[in-house]
Chains A and B, each alone.
Chain A
Amino acid sequence: MKITIKVDPELCIGAASCVTIAPETFQLNEENKAWVLDHGQSPEGNKYERVIEVSEEEKENILLGAQSCPTLAVFIYNEEGKQIFPEL
């Protein structure tokens, strides 16, 4: 399945919770904010938002990474564009 992952750099404070839990998806940059990766890679350069293909297991772990963010700076959307985290 495809999901969209977005980090809001305004909210991100570099707590690195997402990086600790899902290092294949999140990586700290020089601004102490988290870039979004596609399975450890950065096709088309560094980005705060990506659409990536994930397995159910990968999705669960990315969700866990998002849930662990103390500033709720990570947003996850499903294939239909519906926000699945944070829950509205």
Chain B
Amino acid sequence: MKYVIVGGGVAGTTAAEELRKLDSDGEIILISQEQHPLYSRVLLPHYLKGLVERERVFLKKESWYEEKNIEWLRGVEVVKCDTKNKFVELSDGRELPYDKLLIASGNEPRVVDGDVRGVSYLRSLDDADHLKQLLNERKKGDPAAVWGGGLIACEYLNLFVAHELPTTIALRGQHFWSKNLNEEAGEFLNEHLRQQGVKILTEQKFLGVEGEKELEGMKLENQKVECDILGIGIGVQSDLGWIKDAEIEVDRGVKVNEFLETNVEDVWAVGDVAEYFDVVANRHIMFGNWQKAMSQGRVVAKSMAGERSEYQQVPSYAMEILGLDITFVGDVELAAADKVLVRKGDEHGPTLMLMRDNKLVGAVVMGRNSDRVPLTKVIDQRTGDLAKVMNWQGIDQEILA
């Protein structure tokens, strides 16, 4: 049996590791765009803050692949796939036949025009090394800026504020996560950031960067923000071109069912690239997350080895932004909810509970961490029975989405 896994991140590598446990003789080929052995992207902010040494971000040693008899092709990408004759073509021209194919190719940060020194992205270890270098060259009081309003933008705020760089953030909408936070939650977060000394510019349009070789500023529609370091955090996108050309169904990501199967036989997809059918949410969702990527890698390996297995788990994502904890649980897309209940924030932020067909499908918890576990349970049980876990006295608003 010949297994080809496209993507050497946590989803693909976990799948390879599990496949080896289940099939000691099969040929396993892991195609990795990066040169590094598996490392934790989630540890990159810790590395940048100096909480862990660089060597601690690695989860596998270079020798691990050979020890497990996994053929590790690094520094190459898949450019074409033929699902009829069952082979993939690599960027170096090689053609690799497969019996079972797993797409775990992840995603890439969206980029802006203008490649001057001082502009930073934060996705890979190489990005983190570059950012560390930039931060080392800056001194307290140097102006910093961030463009974007998602997870990576938060990481930049944490880093820049910790380095005592006066920071301005420009957002396209009125607040962070416009698809997931309502106005109240968004404004609570904005106010929290302002109190931490961050300058927020909302409803902005990014026109480009200023500076010849070294960054001098960020151009917005009606103003210029002076800065000598700029973090870009405007989301991610997957390269779906070759997948689409192979007539594998894609929408926002590669569409898979609850068994992580694509529409094409012997082709599966997992991790950040997959738009998977979430049996709890009862619809296809995309939720980029370490735990999910790893679990899907583990589950899909079973299916690829012949034991068809369903993936089922309530996804969650926790982050801290300048001291405020924010957690996303389940299906947190406001547009897909038919009702949103809001538990008002006191000294904490609000808790949003996203309902669909009278069931709780997702929650956004800001600050009140004790809401996380009970709400996760209700989502997992696929009920709307909040009274069992919540004090209804604390829910002040009921809003139709």
Chain A residues at the B interface, C-beta cutoff of 8 Å:
10-11, 13-17, 20, 27-32, 68, 70-72, 86
Contacts and interface: CB of A to CB of B under 8 A. Distances in A.
Main secondary structure of the interface of A (DSSP, over half): loop
Contact of B42 (A10, A32, A71, A86): A71
B294 A13 contact: no
B194 interface: no
Contact of B290 (A27, A70, A86): A70
B327 A70 contact: no
Contacts of A16: 291, 316, 318
Interface in B106-147: none
Contact of A32 (B59, B290, B325): B325
B372 interface: yes
A11 B46 contact: yes
Contact of A15 (B59, B290, B370): B290
B102 to A, nearest CB: 19
Interface of B: 10, 40-43, 46, 51-52, 56, 59, 290-291, 294-295, 313, 316-320, 325, 327, 369-370, 372-373
Nearest to B319: A13
Contacts of B56: 72, 86
B294 A32 contact: no
B159 to A, nearest CB: 15
Nearest to A12: B318
A14 B318 CA distance: 6
A16 B317 CA distance: 8
**Shortest beta-carbon contacts, A-B, top 8:** A70-B42, A14-B318, A70-B290, A17-B291, A32-B369, A32-B325, A70-B40, A30-B369
Contacts of B291: 15-17, 20, 68, 70
B369 A71 contact: no
A32 B40 contact: no
20 contacts: A11-B52, A13-B42, A13-B320, A14-B318, A14-B327, A15-B291, A16-B291, A17-B291, A28-B372, A30-B369, A32-B318, A32-B327, A32-B372, A70-B40, A70-B42, A70-B43, A70-B290, A71-B42, A72-B43, A86-B56
